[in-house]
Amino acid sequence: VLIVSKLLKTIIVLLIPLFLALAWAGGEVRKKEAMTQRLGNISIDIEGVVPIDEHLYQGHRKDHPEETLYLAHSSHPSYGGPLKVAAVVDRQKQIQYLAILDSADTHSYLDKVVGLGILDQFTGKSIEQMPEVDGISGATFSSVAIINGVESAVQKIRSAKFGMPVMEKQEPAATPETFNIILICMFFLSALVITNKRFKPKRKARAVLLMLSVITLGFWLDIQFSISTVVSLLSGYWLKGMATYTASLCLVLAVIVFIVTKKNLFCTFICPFGAVQEGLGKITGCSPPKQKRWMDWIARTWVLIVLLAALYFQTPSDAMYEPFSMAFNFIGSGITYGLTILIVFASLAIKRPWCNLFCPVKSMFYYFRCARKIFEKQTKYQFVQIKKELEQ
Amino acid sequence: MKQTVSILLFLGFILLCGAEIFPKFIASATKDRGTVLYVSSAE
């Protein structure tokens, strides 16, 4: 039974990357077919859309073939990956429609940005005098990507159809990417130092590091990787451009450190959401939950299903169900709000309820642990074989 | 007692997280692939 169980585990570990690759490939095919269709769907008032140049199209108003419309789309890096914006301009050089065609960002952030009228500030304006629109704090990456996308799409129409010069580009809001990257590296470095055998005040140092993490990575910068970061990385959005790589770097560092040191330093020493739960648990001095094996397996299967679905539909933001943004930035749906409240109260009765019961990071590290064991055994076996051959 | 609370909490997480993401995936699967996310019109 033990051998069969181990064999089954090995097969599952090897099959998971194959399934993920297949889901991603299916999603890529599905996505390519959709773009031209979306341009035609910006409004029922637009018809006869045909490509005339790269990312540039021409159409006309419904039932008015003489009223030519020029359409262009442009893609810019946003938080979750590229964000695609389309602009529709008439012959009088007026912006008639603006549309967000595709985005990998969390919908609640986009809802906020669009709800505050970022697109409406451009529509109806002449492309000869583009308005200066500022980014929106709390959703800086998405808003800057939209502004840049609109400007680039309009620029394509300006140059190609009206022979107008390149307009002065509005400088996007500076993002403290370098600072964030250094900060993340410092956190991992500190965690490594604390785990060193020679380092004595381990508990105090860990408490300080977790507190700092809540303040900086949580409330101040809202940096935390989630399952949507995993989807963005697996989808290859980091190759197409992302507005920030901090969460991805955090994920990559967590995995590398885990593979090298065999320790999950992120969850134990860095995760701000875990720190909040642990802090609440200290008030009552509660203990970890009592888990059944089936609960672990359901949680792992859940993560796999979510990853496969998000890779197939090419929507990393749809995979996001962790309440991090709600806990630290108060952004999310009503359900996420309810989930956050549940976790906060549960933390008073059970130590780290989310981390222990349902956090996808736990399932992810379980996979890496299994994969590493298989790889280690394989390497060990090969090493023994080579040694035997050399001795003969 | 603790085990019952843990199981209930686990089921609560599944229920809430499922309610959060699965409607989005179902919408992605059923909606027209040419659907535009947001539109702003001059009219």
Q: Summarize pLDDT for A105-126 with one digit per residue, the tens.
A: 877 788 888 888 899 999 999 9
Which of B5, B14, B16 comes nearest A338 by C-beta?
B16
| pLDDT digit string, tens, across residues A241-259 | 777 888 899 999 999 999 8
Which residues are CB-contacts of A382 (< 8 A; sequence separation ≥ 6)? none
**Which element (helix H / strand E) includes A83?**
strand A82-90
CA-nearest residue of chain A to B24? A318
CA dihedral A252, A254, A255, A259 (to 10 degrees): 140
Chain A closest-CA separation from residue B27 CA (Å): 10
- Joined together, the tokens standing for residue A241 give 């451009």
Q: CA-based angle B2:B6:B11, to the nearest 5? A: 150
Q: How confident is the model at residue B28 (pLDDT cuts 50, 70, 90)?
A: confident
8 Å CB contact of B3 and A103: no
8 Å CB contact of B25 and A336: no
Q: Which of A37-51, A166-180, A185-199 has the lowest mean pLDDT?
A: A166-180
8 Å CB contact of A318 and B28: yes
Find where tokens 């959703």 sit.
Answer: A139
DSSP letters, chain B, are -HHHHHHHHHHHHHHHHHHHHHHHHHHHHHS-TT--SEEEE--
Which of A292, A310, A336 comes nearest B20 by C-beta?
A336
User: What's the residue count for chain A?
Assistant: 392
Whether the per-residue pLDDT at A37 is higher than 90: the answer is: no
* Cα separation, A149 vs A89, whole angstroms: 15
Which of A30, A107, A114 comes nearest B33 by C-beta?
A30
The residue-averaged pLDDT of A130-138 equals 79
- pLDDT for A171 equals 55
- Joined together, the tokens standing for residue A224 give 């935390």
Which of A120, A289, A335 comes nearest B20 by C-beta?
A335
8 Å CB contact of A333 and B20: yes
| pLDDT digit string, tens, across residues A285-321 | 999 998 888 999 999 999 999 999 999 988 888 888 8
Query: Which residues on chain A are in Cβ contact (under 8 Å) with B20?
Result: 321, 333, 335-336, 339
DSSP letters, A63-79, are TEEEEEEEEEEEEEE-S
Q: How confident is the model at residue A100 (pLDDT cuts 50, 70, 90)?
A: very high
Check CB contact of B15 with chain A, cutoff 8 Å. no
- pLDDT for A330 equals 80
Q: How confident is the model at residue A23 (pLDDT cuts 50, 70, 90)?
A: very high
Residues A148 and A172 sit within 8 Å (Cβ to Cβ): yes
Whether the per-residue pLDDT at A217 is higher than 60: the answer is: yes
Which of B5, B17, B40 comes nearest A339 by C-beta?
B17
Whether the per-residue pLDDT at A168 is higher than 70: the answer is: no
CA-nearest residue of chain B to A305? B22
Which residues are CB-contacts of A338 (< 8 A; sequence separation ≥ 6)? B16
Look at the alpha carbons of A199, A202, A207, A209 in this order and tell me if their dihedral is positive or negative: positive
pLDDT over 90 for what percent of chain A?
Answer: 45
Whether the per-residue pLDDT at A271 is higher than 90: the answer is: yes
| pLDDT digit string, tens, across residues A314-340 | 888 888 888 887 888 787 788 999 999
Q: Which of A133-142, A232-241, B4-13 has the lowest mean pLDDT?
A: A133-142
User: What's the residue count for chain B?
Assistant: 43
- Joined together, the tokens standing for residue B41 give 């019109």
- pLDDT for A254 equals 94
Sheet with A95-102: list strands edge to edge. A46-53, A56-61, A64-77, A82-90, A95-102, B38-41
Whether the per-residue pLDDT at A138 is higher than 80: the answer is: no
* Cα separation, A311 vs A316, whole angstroms: 7
Q: How confident is the model at residue B39 (pLDDT cuts 50, 70, 90)?
A: very high
Chain B closest-CA separation from residue A122 CA (Å): 9
ipTM: 0.86
Query: Which residues on chain A are in Cβ contact (under 8 Å) with B43?
Result: 96
Q: What is the mean pLDDT of chain A?
A: 87
Q: How confident is the model at residue A169 (pLDDT cuts 50, 70, 90)?
A: low
* Cα separation, A156 vs A53, whole angstroms: 10
Query: Which residues on chain A are in Cβ contact (under 8 Å) with B7?
Result: 292, 295
Query: Which residues on chain A are in Cβ contact (under 8 Å) with B32?
Result: 37, 41
How big is the A-B interface in CB pairs under 8 Å? 125
- pLDDT for A31 equals 72
